[in-house]
Amino acid sequence: MNLKSIIFSFMTATMSLSALGEASQNPFLEPYKTPHGAVPFDKIKTEHYLPAFKEGMRQQDKEIAAIVNNPQAPTFQNSIEALEHSGRLLDRVSHVFYNLHSADTNDEMEKIAKELSPLLTEHANNISLNEKLFARIKTVYDQREHLTLTPEQRTLLQNTYDHFADNGANLNETDKATYRELTKQLSAASLQFEHNALKEVNDYSLLITDRSQLQGVSPDFLEAAAEKAKQKGETGWILDLSAPSYVPAMKFLDNRDIRQKLYMAFTTKGTHGDANDNRETARNIVNLRLKIANLLGYKTYADDVLRHRMAENSANVYKLLNELLTAYKPEAEKEYNAVQTYANEHGATFAIQPWDWSYYSEKLKAEKYAFNEDALRPYFELDKVINGVFGLATKLYGIEFRPAKNIPVYNSEVKAFEVFDKDGKYLALLYTDFYPRAGKRAGAWMTEFKGQWMDGKINSRPQISLVMNFTRPTASKPALLTYDEVHTFLHEFGHSLHGMLANTRYASLSGTSVYRDFVELPSQFMENYGTEKAFLDQFAVNYQTGEKIPAELIKRLKASENYNIGYLCVRQLNFGFLDMAWHTLDQPFTGNVMTFEQQATQNTNILPVVDNTCISTSFSHIFSGGYAAGYYSYKWAEVLEADAFSVFKKQGIFDPATAGSFRSNILSKGGTEAPMILYKRFRGQEPTIDALLEANGIKE
């Protein structure tokens, strides 16, 4: 059983007669007849999912029964490893369904997801609350000091025991029944939260029919907005809440009223008292998590979660957040005053509001550094950026990306690549999905259709997916990315390297299956290359002239790298404090969500607080995305990545020996050992906050 999630396991299995009878019609129920065992998206239909899920659960139930009824004494192999290897069909269909549920969903899939939620929760509970199964696990666990196990096997044993204990195995029968009901409710509530958040983004559009109201934005922006209007049968320009529309509008649109409308739409998602309102859903999720934590013997949900994080407890999280707040808030306040002064000098007669911040900040940045991010876009044609980012991995690790032939994809916009190691061996499949569309949730993420694991001498290689919401090409121009989008690409590609370079025995310890506050190290590490001339010179050329990005422009980009760094850090701390406030509650929450949020974040406010706005009601990271009591992880990992990149800066940013050490000690090891042990093998010491402060210009 892959402890990443009981629901996500991998196909082996002997099929039942009924399954064999359906195999010719349901592609999940037979081996994939595709290169590298790629998912046959061209053969999968919506009606295949539910039967495949049910067969996957049935098969895993049979596998669990075989473990429980084994007449031999419990051993690591016949209990722990056998459990790890169970449920492979269920894992197979789960990875496809839930990845497409995020990247390419439709109404029918939404219905299936709701139907599956209680079934999968019940199935997971049937395993984690199986007394006989836990008795076998505990027998092996109690013998752990006398067993000859590798470090990876010891980690698997510890994780397996902890997983059962954390999911109610030690509860009495009454409490187990309560646990089952609470987890069912939590699963359904989390699904509802994500559904509502996606609907809020998809349902909003602002039609502008007067061109004079769109002064300040680029011709590319206007062309894309006009195309959206055309697709909806309208004449004019449509602005919406997707990142390629919202972010440039807030930075460059001169019309303050429209910026305010967009800002209010963006920051009131899930608060309108309609079917998509997430206030009660957020309350419900927080209270269900608290009840579950209390049932398991913990005072707060954070107390439960943080036992399996590098931070270990909420005191250490708050220590980091407060240290960073002390270091960065004075700088953030200076930055706010500088932008306010600039705005006043350029005709503003008002105090800067949140919908003014990006606009005037961008203008001050352009004046201060003779730099405007739009000046970079002609040098960031998507295809060239892809070549540059892939080429960076080639320089660092020797791996090669080749466009894949005969690999099915789930949408015509998706591309597949075969990845080969420096010795020519097949390493992974990589899917890229770059553009926003209906049915795709907002943001950017890395995921997998299949993880990496070893079965005997066979090293089963991963199938990784990169999903973005980047600026689309227009009728007259290719996709030209903003610098922020290039930055995002590097970040998510760092996650994908963590998946593609995985080389562990067990799926549940492979790739990104690491502590939440360690998982962002590889991704944030890659962001450092975004302002390095030696990297940009590899690919950043003008899409019309072929001219390399000018050295002076890179110099100005580099000089502006820490522009408003105080504000940006405090903004992240705002999210971190809010997350911790929700998940350190020790009493059920019945109050006003907006009031609670304002109180939780008051020490991190730099901009004025606007009435009736709310982050929590669309904060999918913590309410449906796995970062509950963990949003601090971004800053925790930032300390790690700044410390790690300082080694590269010293040895050379493409130094093969340093990259080889990072690969062998961090990227390939997954969660096979404690993160700090892995990090110290690479670095030789524990990280300090100093490298981050120096990189951000806070400390000399």
What domains are there in the chain, each with its CATH number?
Answer: 17-170 (1.10.1370.40), 204-267 (no CATH), 279-371+565-631 (1.10.1370.10), 377-505+523-547 (1.10.1370.40)
Which has the minimum average pLDDT: 438-447, 499-508, 576-585?
438-447
Residues across the chain: 700
Q: Residue range 396-424: average pLDDT?
A: 97
Active site residues: 492
What's the pLDDT score for residue 17?
A: 30
Residues 6+ apart with CB under 8 A from 77: none
In this structure, what are the phi and psi dihedrals at residue 351, rounded to the nearest 5 degrees? -75, 135
What's the pLDDT score for residue 7?
A: 37
Integer Cα distance of 301 and 308 in angstroms: 12
Which has the minimum average pLDDT: 16-30, 90-104, 478-492?
16-30
Q: Taking Cα atoms as reference points, which of 306, 287, 294 lies closest to residue 171?
A: 294
User: In which band, very low, low, confident or very high, does the pLDDT at 688 lie, cut at 50, 70 and 90?
Assistant: confident
Cβ–Cβ < 8 Å for 241, 204: yes
Cβ–Cβ < 8 Å for 433, 465: yes
What's the pLDDT score for residue 364?
A: 96
Q: Is residue 499 over pLDDT 50?
A: yes
What is the average pLDDT value for the chain, to the nearest integer? 93
Integer Cα distance of 4 and 33 in angstroms: 27
- How many percent of the chain have pLDDT more than 90? 90
Please give the distance of CA 179 from its chain centroid, rounded to a whole number: 28
Q: Residue 274 has what DSSP assignment?
A: S
Largest CA distance in the chain: 83
Instruction: Provide the whole-model pTM.
Output: 0.86
Q: Is residue 36 over pLDDT 90?
A: yes
What's the pLDDT score for residue 9?
A: 35
